Structure 1
Amino acid sequence: MTDDPAPGFVRVRLDLSYDGADFSGWARQRERRTVQGELEDAIRTVLRLDEPVELTVAGRTDAGVHARGQVAHVDLPEAVWAAERDRLRRRLAGRLPWDVRVWRAVQAPPGFNARFSAIWRRYAYRVADHPGGVDPLLRGHVLWHDRPLDVAAMNVAADLLLGEHDFAAYCKKREGATTIRTLLDLRWERTAGDIAVATVRADAFCHNMVRALVGALLLVGDGHRPPGFPGEVLAGRVRHSAVNVVRPHGLTLEEVGYPPDDQLAARNLASRNLRTLPGCP
């Protein structure tokens, strides 16, 4: 199996960010505004391409979710790339709406696939528990929780979730897709202004996973549940009625990690295999 660009084409890596408030998620949809739709239309327009382009993204974010370090790739005709590579960013800046920006556009190394070559994604979820609410200037990126949060207790609970598990209890199941993931980091820290920030890093995420994990940990932070509760939900492998999927606006995709260039192709191939846990068929 090969994932190389077609003959006469070059693969281009795009590093981008967007404010997700007015988007119906990443993936192109009919009659709905999406990040993919805006970018693909802008690329086709500024490069004057006869055929539509198709972006592949590292992480398909939901409606309302933001990104600071999203990565995508697109295969472009070699002649077009050679002519436009040095001015593509500037031309896209003049065509794209204010809430999505492309910061880098470079030729990708051999074997690169924005989605399948990635080895981890890092998200941040921001929550304010000040009794007066959220700073109005931050309201589009911070969730307000109306009870004080014990960050230390949430970190005790978070440690019990690390490692490779079936996260079915924290995911919206999709037909034919696995819910097995390796959670590499999950920790809470206080920042200025009574904001608690969760850093969540995993090899990949399934649908709603971060927002459901945050929902379970908030129950621990405000004293509604003991620190062992999120781990018990995980072990049960079914959705728990007490765990809410928190609102999307507090979530931001911060960074995507890739292996060294000589390992990209191997990672691309390995990521396509359906995962199972040891001892499971």
Structure 2
Amino acid sequence: MAIFPEYEDAKTDDRFLSGQQKGQLPFYISCNQPYSHYPMHHHDFAELSFVVEGSGTESINGLAHELRRGTMSLLLPHHIHELYSNPDDPLKLYSCMFDINVLFGNAYESYMNPWIHKIGSEIPSHHHFEGERLASVTSLIEQLVLEYKESRLGRDAVLRGKLIEAVTLMLRALTDPNQSGTVSKNQPGSRVWSILRYIHLHFNEPISLNSVSEHFDLHASYISRMFKEHTGKTVNDYMHTLRITRAATLLVASEMSISDICMEVGYDNYRTFARVFREHHGMSPSEYRMSQAARRAKAL
């Protein structure tokens, strides 16, 4: 089955944009009740989710796990994510979206750094809280939601503190020697997910099939064949799709020049960028920007 994860960009999300315009913490919380299936996607912000009701399954970077009351998941930027809710026992969960840099930059929280980057590769992306720990974490999430809804003095400081506390409790649980669970990286399927994540993180850099081959110490033809089997696309076609999707977002959501966007998404040659963009959208980047501006103006 081919993998075509959708890209969700924080630059176009009103909840991020409004906060940044007011100088607020790049953070928001939503209460989600997916009816059945939330399709495969990835985004450039981090996400901490916590299930308060219902059951279902979640897949992160190709690894599926159960969702139930007390499940907390942490997704790093560009982790590929998919969710299924049980129609007979529908999920209700809180999702905290934030810029990953919110967790860094303070020497007192430096303990997090080595562990955060192991999420989804060396330690699991989720944990099931139970008993007293479940009660404590549930209370913490409720406090986080309440603080988010208010506009009191020091709101952003409290939000950041409670977010760091929640992530810390999850990291404690995941690194507890009595807890089982490591992420296997030896199966062919998991290799594909590692390669996918690497491409998602570096698609705007000058990478190619050969550089990916060197990074993973795997033969280029082996990567090419395995990648095509799982995604239905070649490595280069997949990177073009990511780059053009990002470019289209920047054309709509920013005032960057088209030449700057070309460089920003990983092209060092404008002609190549314009050609590939036209192949995907049937028009030039400038025509696309004008058409989207006209569409938005008509909708107002």
Instruction: Give TM class, smaller chain.
Output: under 0.3
Greater relative contact order (CA < 8 Å, ≥ 6 in sequence): 1
- Compare the two structures and name the one with the higher helix fraction: 2
TM superposition score normalised by structure 2: 0.25
Q: Which has the higher strand share?
A: 1
